[in-house]
Structures are given as structure tokens and as C-alpha cells.
Amino acid sequence: MGLAVTETDMGKQGKCSRCGAEFPIAPSAIQPASNSTGVGRVFVVPAPEPGQGHATAALVLGLLGMLLGSFTLSILGIIFGSLGLKSFSRHGQAVAGLTMGCIGLPLAILAKFLSVGFCCFTL
């Protein structure tokens, strides 16, 4: 799925059919398509894939949540990982972020209990 444009549209602003966001039509992103209109050459600008940013965010937040033992970062890694599963090209990143978030969550809870227990026994 993409946006059909002609040669005169190159360098102008395009509009997303889903969210309405504007983006520049770059000549490097344009691929030739079949000319069904019969007027000039028609090109297709590939639409951005949903969930790519969520998958990357899940990977980063899940890793930080697991390494730092952070409850908040682990929860965010789980949320972004579930949203990032929509991405076909970055499905592995979303699964990795979701997995690390799920591992980091019990580690964060365990770290909190151990720190509270350690403080109670040293007083």
C-alpha cells in the first residue's frame, strides 16, 4: 500500500491517508508503478509500516528495565512490545523487548523486596 504520485508531485508534501500527517515526497523513495491513468508516469511512495517505532522502543526499554531492575521501564517495555507486534519487519525486536520486559518485572520486584529487607535487618 502506498501513495500514488506523478512526476510533478516529487519534492512536494504528501498526506497520509490514515492519520493525515504530512511528509515530503522524496525522489529516492519513489518506485515506478503501472500507469492506470494514462497521464504521465505514475509512481508509488511506500507507506510507513505501523509499529516500527514501538518495536524499537520496546527493545530499548525492556533491556534497560531488565539491566537496571526498574519496574517502570519494564512495564513500558511490555506495553511497547505488545504495540510493536504489529510490525512485520521488526517483529523480532518487539518480541525481544516484550520478553526482556517480562523478565525485568519480577527482577525489579525482587530488587525492591531485597532492598527493603536489607534496610530492615541492618537497623
20's torsion region: left (phi>0), alpha (psi -120 to 50) or beta?
Answer: left
pLDDT tens digits along 68-79: 989 999 999 999
Distance, in Å, from the CA atom of 5 to the CA atom of 25, rounded to the nearest integer, reads 9
Domain locations in the chain?
A: 2-46, 52-122
Asked if pLDDT for residue 83 goes beyond 80, the answer is yes
Backbone torsions φ then ψ of 69, nearest 5 degrees: 65, 40
Residue 29: the pLDDT is 54
Coil vs helix vs strand at 5: strand
**What's the confidence (pLDDT) of residue 82?**
93
pTM given for the model? 0.58
Confidence band for 114, pLDDT divided at 50, 70 and 90 = confident
The CA distance from 57 to 36, in Å, is 40
CA distance 104 to 63: 8
Each residue's pLDDT tens digit, 4-63: 555 556 566 666 666 667 766 665 555 555 545 555 555 556 666 777 889 999 999 999
Using CA atoms, how far residue 48 sits from 18, 26, 81, 89, 93, in Å, is: 11, 14, 18, 11, 17
Residue 42 is inside which H or E element, if any?
strand 42-46
% of the chain at pLDDT higher than 70: 54
More confident residue, 99 or 44: 99
| Interaxial angle between packed helices 71-84 and 52-68, expressed in degrees from 0 to 180 and rounded to the nearest 10 | 160
